[in-house]
Amino acid sequence: SGAYSKPSLSAHPSHLVVSGGNVSLSCSSQNITDTFHLLKEREAYPSQQRKSEFSVGRHQATFPVGPVSTSHGGIYRCYGSLRNYPYVWSQPSDSVDLTVTGAYSKPFLSAHPSPLVVSGGSVSLSCSSQDRMDTFYLLKEGRADPPQHRKSQFSAGRHQAIFPMGPVSTYDGGTYRCYGSVRSSSHLWSHPSDPLDLRVTGTYEKPSLSAHPGPSVTSGDSVTLQCRSDQFFDTFHLFKEGLIAPPQQLSWQNNTGPFQTNFTMSPVTSAHGGTYRCYSSHRISPYLFSQPSDPLELVVSASHPETTPRADSPPSASTLLPEYLKVLIGDLVAHISLLIFLLLFLFNRCHHDGKGNAAVKDKQPEEEMEMDSQQSPEEENPQARVYAQVNHHSGPRWGGAISPSTLSGKPPPELCVCTSLCPHPRLLHLKTP
């Protein structure tokens, strides 16, 4: 080898290929080359070879690889040769590290202090995993540079590596992922971490942020945060302080109106309260942001609906008090009604008794006259008993007659009283002393 200048080797779509996927290795040269040979380092198998094809001013051959397994990971190089001299090869190409991903669980990638970093500032990207990893790799999408790598350190129960960046420039904005590997299999990587978007701010003038109808809103209502700029921007971003989730992003829709967009929140809850800022950007440079707007504090106050106590919780004193008052008022109304009924009953009874007594008084002179005119022989006898019968229709009352001996001042030997408390009158004999 070494008789000719070296060809170039590249992997498409990427030198990182997921286990089970496919990749193509392309070997090309500007020099006349009839055959290309592909070799893998530390591989005992014979090299693969392909006939050259001329396209776009270059001689090239493509080596498809797949479905990819862990055995395909490694370092590859290619060579070129002529038909007349098949054993005379060119210099080796630069190496391509074919890395198979998906061998281990994915690590976690985070930015400190924030994925929003002002131009000229500093930021640190941390890649960590609970699984044992010896090396971590940091890659930026769309960048052909080799990945950054750092040795792992064990701290707080995790294996991690820190990738410092700064001073940050507009070139550093983009989407990043990290991977982990073990020392014994450096071409077998973990699954990729979730993507992290690093945004560089301060490139353009700041927009303005306002709340409609106002920054104070009641829970359950609606509020609209409007981000507006005097300059042309087609994308606006809304951030909330302390929130790890990606920002809300809306595009400018009105091609003739002002450069603004509305972020509507409905219904508002207590979780929406906090400090907000907005940024503006261009669609062609999605990772370059303007300066942040002035902060806007959104205050959410609780509403006061009538609530009912939960079935699994004891009623509160404020709930028991109205119920107690209802019971007390109901009991009081019942007692007052009963009292009124009793008063009406007694009034009616007294009115009825008054009429009966008046009738008796009208008959008493006639009865006395009859008794005086019809004196029996017994009246002349001092020992005679005198009886008087009470009118049955005048209600329950006591009646009696006194003998003439009593009127004369001498006590009678006995006094008999007839009562009509019961339907059948009885005679009671009262012995006098």
Segment 224-252 shows an average pLDDT of 88
Total-model pTM: 0.63
Q: 78, 60, 82, 65: which is closest to 18 by C-alpha? A: 65
Selected residue with higher pLDDT from 353 and 81: 81
121: CB partners within 8 A, 6+ apart: 166, 167, 168
For the chain, percent of residues with pLDDT exceeding 70: 73
Q: Does pLDDT of 170 surpass 70?
A: yes
Q: Are 180 and 133 in contact (CB under 8 A)?
A: yes
- pLDDT category at 278 given cuts 50, 70, 90 is very high
Segment 271-279 shows an average pLDDT of 95
Q: Does pLDDT of 397 surpass 80?
A: no
Which of 67-76, 145-154, 192-201, 332-341 shows the lowest mean pLDDT across its residues?
A: 332-341
For the chain, percent of residues with pLDDT exceeding 90: 55
Q: Does pLDDT of 237 surpass 90?
A: yes
Which of 7-11, 143-147, 207-211, 252-256 shows the lowest mean pLDDT across its residues?
A: 252-256
Q: How far apart are CA 136 and CA 148, in angstroms?
A: 8
Q: How far apart are CA 88 and CA 26, in angstroms?
A: 20
Q: Cα dist. 215→43, 124, 221, 300, 371 in Å?
A: 68, 34, 12, 8, 107
Segment 205-232 shows an average pLDDT of 94
Distance of alpha carbon 179 from the chain centroid = 33
pLDDT at 356: 54
Selected residue with higher pLDDT from 363 and 107: 107
Q: Is there a shared CATH topology between the 8-101 domain and the 108-200 domain?
A: yes
Residue type present at position 419: T
Q: Does pLDDT of 292 surpass 60?
A: yes
pLDDT at 357: 53
Which one of 3.10.310.70, 2.60.40.10, 1.25.60.10, 3.50.30.20 gives the CATH number of domain 8-101?
2.60.40.10
pLDDT at 396: 43
pLDDT at 314: 52
CATH, range 108-200: 2.60.40.10
220: CB partners within 8 A, 6+ apart: 267, 268, 303
Segment 122-147 shows an average pLDDT of 93
Domain boundaries defined on the chain: 8-101, 108-200, 203-301, 382-431
Both tokens assigned to 315 = 């009623």
Domain 203-301: CATH architecture, name and number where available: Sandwich (2.60)
Segment 358-385 shows an average pLDDT of 45
Which of 39-43, 268-272, 278-282 shows the lowest mean pLDDT across its residues?
A: 39-43
